[in-house]
Chain A
């Protein structure tokens, strides 16, 4: 297999998305979402590439990234845990789940663990108001949370960090 620099791979991927939207500005959100989902952040390099492809100023790209809560330029954890803070979840003891998350991970909301595995965030309504409290781990929803369930969810995430997964990650960073 030929070695291709990561930045080149990114460019190729972005090009594909941009072309699907005729290199128009409406491609911006799908491009950003693609970068976000693959790299869990949108680097300045990626923003510049996107700006060049769509022929807009990088500042505009940055503006969009900073506006939407599901996009971020700073590195975040491999698992982004978003706990719903809606009123109906609050009525069902969301605070206790929140405290359990903070204690188990040793971080507060808005922070990322030192090993870069977990980020803890608040989110608005996840639409599971009848079965709250609810949280989102990346794309997966968990409902009817209790402090005990928090432990299971975190363990499930941690279990994907086997030896194999760790090696793969190191291999990608050369």
Chain B
């Protein structure tokens, strides 16, 4: 039977009870049930644990918890043992009996499941792993302590503690606290959250108002909002209830992308549970304050992440943005004052109320407070989510936590801020990451996606990719974005095909200026950023494509040829076997390359027939003797 909570005291009592229950269990095994680990087969590991515990009759003493994403998706499936704090990675079903037998029952470590540090030593605890050690997990902290389906877990670890505290305060005081904390919107723009709340509260007195959670996380390379909503939906809900109380709203929406089925499911379960317990709904905790949340699924349009387009979509209209001189804080959803914040922003709110603005404002830099979650993806060793205080250097994120570039390749650039951001070259890696510094470098914070590129990534191709993305996702309402971006894409396509003309770069720059100035919304206004920033830092690559018809990174298919280096070819036939178009074939000549120091002249040297080659790169990857070259 679910208990309906009528006062804050009842909530506290329940928390104490749940805490005791948690403590009475001698040991817990927390397994990451994030989608990343699912990809590695964590479900089988979970089932194996369950079986093993049942067969040893340990179910009462050892609790098995399936949590949300731990962030270190590269090394899944992951398990965290409490209270010992032992951290195991890359667990296989076959390891399960040993973990129970040795670690859980005897406290012994299993060597092969430990994370190996760079110096060859092994790390037994999470905090010894560099990926975790450098992070400051505040928003993400609970992701690995709770089961996403369980409101009890969230309450036990201190969840919904901020809610009664906020409800006991005056709404203005709540806004003041958020203002003093210096929280800024995590969705990209970085607008001060407290100021937004204040505007919404004061706008159109007496009218209905709304709070909205923007979970339409469309930036390529960013997925922290998905992880939060999947792993700890209650933190977002709690933030929204507090926000709604502060601005005086009784109705809220969570707008989730259709591409995130699990986030929709978990958020829905969380809302039902919160409603059952009286944490949303009528007369929340006896305060007389009513508030409920509806989940709304998007239709697969990137532009709906823009605030006005999102509201149009909620109203059942086409997701087209409108001009920004009318602020949504004053005239938003159904022309009523609306407070729209991103998932991560909402999840920050309970923390501020719990610990106070003074505590919060000590984290971060002068103008950007708190922590920010980044998703580090692309050509990097440890892909995953990292939460760091604002002001950390990009170099630290990429090289210390991310572990640098794999396969001994050289770092070239990092794209921050998704399609509205820009590429940052190596020379600027010591830039502290905060809202203002990144804007100065010609990029932006965006939602926090970091796409790392190595020497084999062509910067013109990257600019082309983002421009293509934006030209497809342009809603088509205003001409500069609809037509301008399309024309920029045509120019970039031409350059990548080796048909670039002198003056193309200048033309791109000129068009960018017009698009930036004349577009209606931020999507169009920032659309030229990827092109502008790559021109700014990698002009030489554009010139190589246009003037020399050459792709220095060897990525643009029209500008490269595959060939065999005769003296390296051993005649092993690996390239011929993988080639899908029979472009890699044997010749009559004997092979010259040596296998294990021996040349076998019976084997035939291979060649690549250029007319048949589709530049799929399979032969290059298949060749073990560096005999295939790209020129």
Q: Which positions in A face B, CB cutoff 8 Å?
A: 24-30, 32-33, 54, 60, 63-64, 67-71, 86-88, 90-91, 95-96, 99, 123-132, 136, 139-141, 143-144
The stretch among B54-62, B182-190, B220-228 that forms the contact with chain A is B220-228
- Is B252 located at the chain interface by the 8 A CB criterion? no
Residue of B nearest to A130 (CB): B383
The docked-state distance in angstroms from the alpha carbon of A46 to that of B403 is 53
- Is B593 located at the chain interface by the 8 A CB criterion? no
**Interchain nearest-CB distance for B458 vs A (Å):** 11
Q: A33-B297, A69-B300, A88-B377 are in contact. Are A129 and B316 (CB under 8 A)?
A: no
- Is B258 located at the chain interface by the 8 A CB criterion? yes
> B83-114, CB under 8 A of A: which get 1 and which 0?
00000000000000000000000000000000
Report 25 cross-chain contacts, Cβ distance below 8 Å, ordered by A residue. Answer: A26-B315, A64-B316, A68-B301, A69-B299, A70-B300, A87-B221, A87-B451, A87-B466, A88-B221, A99-B580, A123-B259, A124-B218, A124-B300, A124-B302, A125-B222, A127-B226, A127-B257, A129-B223, A130-B376, A131-B35, A136-B261, A139-B261, A140-B261, A141-B35, A144-B40
Q: Which residue from A25, A129, A141 sits with its C-beta under 8 Å from B375?
A: A129
**Interchain nearest-CB distance for A173 vs B (Å):** 27
Residue pair B465, A87 in contact (C-beta under 8 Å): yes
Residue of B nearest to A121 (CB): B300
- Is B420 located at the chain interface by the 8 A CB criterion? no
Q: A123-B259, A127-B217 are in contact. Are A88 and B451 (CB under 8 A)?
A: yes
Q: Which of B288-316 contact A (CB under 8 A)?
A: 296-302, 313-316
The docked-state distance in angstroms from the alpha carbon of A28 to that of B317 is 8
* Residues of A contacting B618 in the complex (Cβ-Cβ under 8 angstroms): 96
- Give the A-B contact count at a CB cut-off of 8 A: 139
Residue pair B302, A91 in contact (C-beta under 8 Å): no
* Residues of B contacting A91 in the complex (Cβ-Cβ under 8 angstroms): 378-379, 457
Residue pair B378, A141 in contact (C-beta under 8 Å): no
Residue pair A70, B258 in contact (C-beta under 8 Å): yes
- Is B356 located at the chain interface by the 8 A CB criterion? no
The docked-state distance in angstroms from the alpha carbon of A139 to that of B265 is 11
**Interchain nearest-CB distance for A14 vs B (Å):** 14
**Interchain nearest-CB distance for A63 vs B (Å):** 6
Q: Which residue from B218, B298, B375, B616 sits with its C-beta under 8 Å from A130?
A: B375
* Residues of A contacting B260 in the complex (Cβ-Cβ under 8 angstroms): 127
Q: Which positions in B face A, CB cutoff 8 Å?
A: 35-36, 38-40, 73-74, 217-223, 226, 257-262, 296-302, 313-319, 375-379, 383-385, 415, 449, 451, 457, 462, 465-466, 469, 473, 475, 580, 616, 618
Residue pair B73, A131 in contact (C-beta under 8 Å): yes
Residue pair B259, A129 in contact (C-beta under 8 Å): no
Chain B CB within 10 A, most for which of A29, A32, A71, A143: A29
Residue pair B318, A64 in contact (C-beta under 8 Å): yes
Residue of B nearest to A70 (CB): B300
Q: Which residue from B220, B315, B318 sits with its C-beta under 8 Å from A124?
A: B220
Residue of A nearest to B314 (CB): A26
Chain B CB within 10 A, most for which of A60, A68, A127: A127
**Interchain nearest-CB distance for A53 vs B (Å):** 12
Chain B CB within 10 A, most for which of A33, A69, A136: A69
Chain B CB within 10 A, most for which of A26, A54, A91, A125: A125
Q: A87-B221, A87-B462, A88-B221 are in contact. Are A129 and B318 (CB under 8 A)?
A: no
Residue of A nearest to B418 (CB): A125
Q: A69-B299, A91-B457, A129-B377 are in contact. Are A25 and B223 (CB under 8 A)?
A: no
Residue of B nearest to A91 (CB): B378
Q: Which residue from A33, A130, A144 sits with its C-beta under 8 Å from B377?
A: A130
The docked-state distance in angstroms from the alpha carbon of A49 to that of B486 is 37
Residue of A nearest to B466 (CB): A87
A33-B299, A128-B223, A129-B449 provided; 18 other pairs, C-beta below 8 A?
Answer: A28-B316, A29-B297, A30-B297, A67-B319, A68-B301, A86-B220, A86-B221, A87-B221, A99-B616, A124-B259, A124-B473, A125-B218, A127-B222, A129-B377, A130-B36, A130-B74, A130-B383, A131-B36
Residue of B nearest to A141 (CB): B35
**Interchain nearest-CB distance for B203 vs A (Å):** 21
The docked-state distance in angstroms from the alpha carbon of A26 to that of B312 is 9
* Residues of A contacting B300 in the complex (Cβ-Cβ under 8 angstroms): 68-70, 123-124
The docked-state distance in angstroms from the alpha carbon of A124 to that of B217 is 11
* Residues of A contacting B258 in the complex (Cβ-Cβ under 8 angstroms): 33, 70
The docked-state distance in angstroms from the alpha carbon of A22 to that of B299 is 21
* Residues of B contacting A136 in the complex (Cβ-Cβ under 8 angstroms): 259, 261
Residue pair A143, B223 in contact (C-beta under 8 Å): no
The docked-state distance in angstroms from the alpha carbon of A28 to that of B465 is 33
* Residues of B contacting A127 in the complex (Cβ-Cβ under 8 angstroms): 217, 222-223, 226, 257, 259-260
**Interchain nearest-CB distance for B172 vs A (Å):** 30
Residue of B nearest to A65 (CB): B299
The docked-state distance in angstroms from the alpha carbon of A99 to that of B617 is 13
Chain A CB within 10 A, most for which of B317, B462, B616: B317
**Interchain nearest-CB distance for A80 vs B (Å):** 11
The docked-state distance in angstroms from the alpha carbon of A25 to that of B315 is 6
* Residues of B contacting A67 in the complex (Cβ-Cβ under 8 angstroms): 299, 301, 318-319, 475
Residue pair B449, A68 in contact (C-beta under 8 Å): no
Q: A87-B465, A144-B39 are in contact. Are A64 and B223 (CB under 8 A)?
A: no
